[in-house]
Amino acid sequence: MSPSGRDADFLSLSALQHFAYCPRQFALIHIEQQWAENRFTAEGQVLHERVNDGEPEHRGDLHIARSLRLICHSLQVTGVADVVEFHPVDDDTGCQLPGRPGNWQPYPVEYKRGRSKADDWDRIQLCAQAMALEEMLNTAVPEGALFYGKPRRRERVALDAGLRDKTRDLARAARMMLEHGQTPAPEPGPKCDHCSLREICVPDSTSASAYLHRMLD
C-alpha cells in the first residue's frame, strides 16, 4: 500500500483506520512518512489482492462490485471498497444499477485478516465506506459486514448513529492532526504486539527513559 494518507484534502479510508487503531501509528505513517511491513500487514495485503482481483459478478439475485472507488465529501475521506453487494429490493428504496432493472440495496463488505475485535477500528472503516455510498448513490446504507479470515466468518455491522458519530469525530481529529503535523507520544498496549511500526515507534521508550531517570536521580 502507499503510505500516503492524503488525496488533496481528503483522508484515505486506510488512514482513518490507522488513526482509529492508534493516533501515533497514523502520525508515523501519514505525517512522518514511515512505513514497515510485518506478517500481519503482508497477510492483509495478500487477502485484499485476492478479493479485489475479480470482475463484477452476478450471483443469483445478487450483484457484486469489487474495488469500488468511493468518496465521501462530508467526512472528506476517499478510498476503495473491497466488495459492495447490491441486494434486490421490492420497494422504491435503494438505488438503480445500469443495465439491471429494479432497485438495489448497497451492502459494503470489508475483508480483514485475523479475528473480530472488540474495538471499533474495522467498523469505523466500514462505516465510512457506507457513508460514502450513501452520498454517491443517494440512498441509506443501514448495514454492512466485515469478513474475517480466522475463522472465516462474516460479522454483520449495524451502522447506527453512535458508530457514525464516532466515525465523524475520528475523521475530524485525524485531519486536525495532519494539519498540526505533530506526532503524539506512544500509548503502549496490547495493540503494539501487532503493529508493524513497533521498532520505529519504540512504545516502551517513554517508560524506559522515565525508569532510567529515576535510577540516575
> What are the residues binding ligand SF4 (CB under 6 A)?
22, 24-25, 28, 186-188, 191-192, 195, 197-198, 201, 203
Between 160 and 187, name the residue whose CB sits nearer to ligand SF4: 187
For residues 160 and 167, is the Cβ–Cβ distance under 8 A? Answer: no
The single residue listed with the C-alpha cell 511491513 is: 37
Smallest distance, Å, CB 28 to ligand SF4?
6
Q: What is the dihedral of CA 143, 138, 171, 154, to 10 degrees?
A: 20
**Alpha-helix residue ranges (DSSP H) falling in 10-112:** 13-21, 23-30, 39-52
For residues 77 and 128, is the Cβ–Cβ distance under 8 A? Answer: yes
For residues 186 and 203, is the Cβ–Cβ distance under 8 A? Answer: yes
Angle, CA 143 vertex, CA 138 and CA 149 arms, to 5°: 125
Smallest distance, Å, CB 19 to ligand SF4?
11
119 phi/psi in degrees, rounded to 5: -75, 160
Between 50 and 115, name the residue whose CB sits nearer to ligand SF4: 115
Smallest distance, Å, CB 18 to ligand SF4?
9
Q: How far, in Å, CA of 113 to CA of 192, rounded?
A: 17
Smallest distance, Å, CB 153 to ligand SF4?
25
Smallest distance, Å, CB 26 to ligand SF4?
8
Between 28 and 81, name the residue whose CB sits nearer to ligand SF4: 28
Q: How far apart are the first and last CA of the chain?
A: 46
